[in-house]
Amino acid sequence: MPVKFGAKPAIHSKPIIHVDDLDDLDVDNQRPSPSHGRFRSDPRIKAECVEVVSIKDLKPNSKNAKQHPERQISLLEENINEFGFTNPLIVDENNTILAGHARWEAAKRLELEYLPVVRLTHLSPAQKRAAAIADNKLAELGAWDFEILGEEFEFLTDPDSDICFDYRITGFDTPEIDDILDDKSDTDRNDPEDDIAPPVSTPPVTLPGDLWDAGQHKLICADATVSEAYERLMQGERAQISFNDFPFNAPNEGRVTKRKGAREFAMGNAEMSKEEYTNFLAKLCKNIVANIASGAIAYFCTDWRHMSELMAAADPLFHAFKNLIVWTKPNAGMGSFYRSQHELIFVFAVPGKPINNIGPGAKGCHRSNVWNYAGLSSFWRGRDKTLAMHPTVKPVAMWWTR
């Protein structure tokens, strides 16, 4: 059955030449011997053409060992819509798919009627099984040239580039792109934005009540449990997003650092009972809710020990628990049983029309709730000196790219 793709088929100016024996080929000059006018350059090339097959006739391989998550299928749908179906499936003589199950699934969802395939009819049953595994596994063995990849994403993310699609269609999520554009091919590489000057023994220049004007930013030195501090900082305005890192009601010494005499928080340093800590968090959350706009998103960092207290404090005020994010770090922290290599971030929303301030949505967003950013031990070598200033330092990129 003829199928029209919307473009004229290519017209080959030279005939396709075949040969049954390499002896008939003049290898040095890559041309057929005078007695043969048609040849196939290498007998290992088994596929001679791309066929077009009804999608209804294609059958999945019951031995396919590769699983395809929803995110992959959705991205393939977007790729097909944006670029076309560019990669034929590999099938056998019975139309059983050997390679391309994810593309086939995406095509079914897009209601495509026909698909291009390359048919292999020379494989034994054992070869088919091995070829299917190899097609999936060998692609994983490649490595990225992060310098070239960074140049490509610089172009794709440049507002002046003539691009009308979401660059995350490539399959790279925002944290990965952040690292690439920051020239951080290794998660242990330092981010200059995260460099913190060591503390110095001089009189403090900031005292409670000081309000700093830093260009587009304002910073107040105050008690976050006091509502008047927010009024002075916000001056009648309401934030569209809030990222919060409260004390975890745990001591820094022996938990975050081995250094004796580590600086502790003024509040929430293990002196509170579970009920007291819940009330403490509720007071903070109440002030946050009072100073952010309707539909705004609020992020709250915590550890696994205090999930119940944060939920009990925040949920009655926000009413909409949106998600739980896991920030994974390159290195594990202190501990003798399971050493924590992650931090939890609860996501709540204020009732009202949602505020879309987290990226384009026309093509669909594929934000993951697992964030991969460097932890403290990765981006600052003077770990103990930094912990003296703040025990749970967050990387700059995580605060403003999400």
| Structure tokens that stand for 10 in this block | 């290519």
Based on the domain organization, do 272 and 344 belong to the same domain? yes
* Averaged pLDDT score across all residues of the chain: 77
Comparing 96-100, 124-128, 181-185, the range with the smallest average pLDDT is 181-185
What is the reported pLDDT for 12?
Answer: 34
Residue 115 CB contacts under 8 Å (≥ 6 apart), including other chains: 52, 53, 55, 58, 85, 88, 89, 103, 104, 107
Quick: pLDDT tens for 321-345: 999 999 888 777 655 567 778 889 9
If asked whether residues 56 and 125 sit together in one domain, one would say yes
Tell me how far apart the alpha carbons of residues 221 and 232 are, in angstroms, rounded to a whole number: 11
50 found inside a domain: yes
pLDDT given at position 221: 92
104, part of any domain: yes
Q: Residue 349: which residues within 8 A CB-CB, separation 6 or more?
A: 295, 296, 297, 298, 318, 320, 322
Distance, first Cα to last Cα, the chain: 50
pLDDT in tens, 277-318: 999 999 999 999 999 999 999 999 998 888 999 999 999 999
301 and 390 both lie in a single domain: yes
Span 37-63, pLDDT tens digits: 444 567 777 777 899 999 999 999 999
pLDDT tens digits for range 135-190: 989 988 888 888 899 899 888 888 788 888 888 899 987 767 777 776 544 444 45
CATH of the domain at 295: 3.40.50.150
- Listed residues 140, 174, 195: the one ending a domain: 140
Q: Give the pTM.
A: 0.48
Same domain, 265 and 334: yes
- CATH number, domain of 75, equals 3.90.1530.10
Q: Read off the pLDDT band of 106 (50, 70, 90).
A: very high
Q: Are residues 233 and 243 in the same domain?
A: no
Asked if residue 245 and residue 224 are part of one domain, the reply reads no
Instruction: Tally the domains of the chain.
Output: 3
Residue 360 lies in a domain: yes
In this predicted structure, the answer to whether residue 82 has a pLDDT above a threshold of 80 is yes
Residue 364 reports pLDDT greater than 60: no
269 found inside a domain: yes
Q: Are residues 255 and 396 in the same domain?
A: yes
Encoded tokens for 183:
């020239």
Same structural domain, 136 and 228: no
Asked if residue 193 is part of any domain, the answer here is no
pLDDT of amino acid 330: 75
**What is the bridge-based pairing of β-strands 31-32 and 89-91?**
unpaired
Residue ending a domain, among 140, 173, 189, is 140
Considering the domain architecture, whether residues 116 and 246 belong to the same structural domain is answered as: no
- Examine residue 13 and state whether it is found in any structural domain, yes or no: no
Mean pLDDT value across residues 7-14: 35
Q: Is residue 36 part of a domain?
A: no
Do 233 and 112 fall within a single domain? no
Please write the tens of the pLDDT for every residue from 235-269: 999 999 999 988 887 665 545 554 555 555 666 55
In a domain, 374, yes or no: yes
Q: What is the pLDDT of residue 5?
A: 35
- Both 228 and 287 in a single domain? no
User: Is residue 300 domain-shared with residue 270, that is, in the same domain?
Assistant: yes
Q: What is the pLDDT of residues 210-239, one digit of tens each?
A: 999 988 889 999 999 999 999 999 999 999
| Domain carrying residue 62 | 46-140
